[in-house]
């Protein structure tokens, strides 16, 4: 494809990830993926490794794993790929074509993955997905089942004022009016669930500075804060090893 053609087609797509398509062309995504990449701690050298990207969306991290030498990359998604209005699958397909990528793809829900269905992988990426899970422990058990060596989990947190495992539950729109967000675990809860799921070692790789988000639902949310209260929260990246 010619540069002008790439730009023209790119601008017809709704993007979430910023992806470098080459020739100075970067998709206009809302997420600063290049900055986030530094925060998750993906190994620089993935030569000979197999990588699974759960909740791929537009595919930035899958393409990055391929660039770092992974011999096999499987990109999976379900919820976002099924929603045409998000541009998730369309963006992924377009970027894969422009980049001449050889990564594999499979539309499958996180709770349906298993070694029998997709195999096992040296590195599993579980980025920005956990807090969207109605069953977070089950989701992490699924991640563990297909992990040979290491998993990287990045998620929103809540209940950070507690010094023991705690998880906030959002049955309605308590999380910034987001209907697809179900839980807000604290770091202790995430690490505890990872160990229950079968990971032997965990380490907090990165925490964003403490910030405050605003609730928007009437009545009290699961954390006990009144409506429109600024709730302490942050995002965290945790590395886990089998």
> Is it the case that residue 216 has pLDDT exceeding 60?
no
What tens digit of pLDDT does each residue of 147-205 get?
999 999 999 999 988 999 999 998 887 766 566 889 999 999 999 999 999 999 999 99
Residue 163's CB is within 10 A of a number of other CB atoms, namely: 8
Strands 50-54 and 72-77: parallel
Strands 183-185 and 167-169: antiparallel
**pTM, 2 dp:** 0.90
Say what the pLDDT of residue 1 is.
85
Give the C-alpha separation, 126 to 109, whole Å. 13
Say what the pLDDT of residue 222 is.
45
Percent of the chain whose predicted confidence (pLDDT) is above 70: 87
User: Residues 113, 200: contact at Cβ < 8 Å?
Assistant: no
SS3 content of the chain, % helix, strand, coil (to 5): 30, 30, 45
Least confident of 6-20, 36-50, 102-116, 224-238: 224-238
> Is it the case that residue 138 has pLDDT exceeding 90?
yes
More confident residue, 212 or 9: 9
Q: Which domains does the chain have, with CATH numbers?
A: 33-241 (3.40.50.150)
Say what the pLDDT of residue 74 is.
98
Say what the pLDDT of residue 179 is.
67
The DSSP call for residue 192 is H
Say what the pLDDT of residue 234 is.
84
What tens digit of pLDDT does each residue of 5-37 get?
999 999 999 999 999 999 999 999 999 999 999
């Amino acid at each position: 494809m010619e540069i002008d053609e790439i730009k023209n087609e790119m601008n017809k797509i709704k993007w979430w990830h910023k992806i470098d398509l080459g020739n100075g062309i970067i998709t206009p995504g809302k997420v600063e993926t290049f900055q986030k990449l530094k925060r998750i701690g993906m190994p620089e050298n993935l030569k000979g490794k197999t990588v699974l990207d759960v909740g791929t969306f537009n595919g930035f991290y899958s393409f990055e794993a391929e660039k770092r030498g992974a011999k096999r990359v499987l990109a999976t998604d379900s919820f976002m790929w099924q929603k045409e209005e998000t541009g998730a699958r369309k963006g992924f397909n377009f970027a894969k074509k422009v980049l001449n990528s050889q990564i594999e793809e499979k539309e499958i829900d996180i709770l349906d993955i298993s070694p029998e269905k997709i195999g096992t992988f040296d590195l599993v990426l579980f980025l920005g997905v956990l807090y969207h899970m109605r069953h977070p422990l089950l989701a992490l058990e699924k991640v563990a089942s297909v992990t040979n060596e290491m998993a990287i989990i990045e998620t929103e947190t809540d209940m950070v004022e507690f010094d023991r495992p705690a998880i906030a539950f959002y049955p309605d729109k308590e999380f910034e009016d987001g209907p697809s967000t179900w839980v807000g675990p604290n770091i202790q809860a995430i690490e505890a669930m990872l160990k229950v799921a079968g990971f032997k070692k965990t380490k907090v790789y990165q925490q964003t500075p403490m910030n405050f988000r605003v609730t928007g639902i009437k009545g009290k949310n699961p954390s006990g804060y009144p409506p429109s209260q600024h709730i302490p929260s942050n995002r965290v990246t945790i590395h886990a090893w089998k």
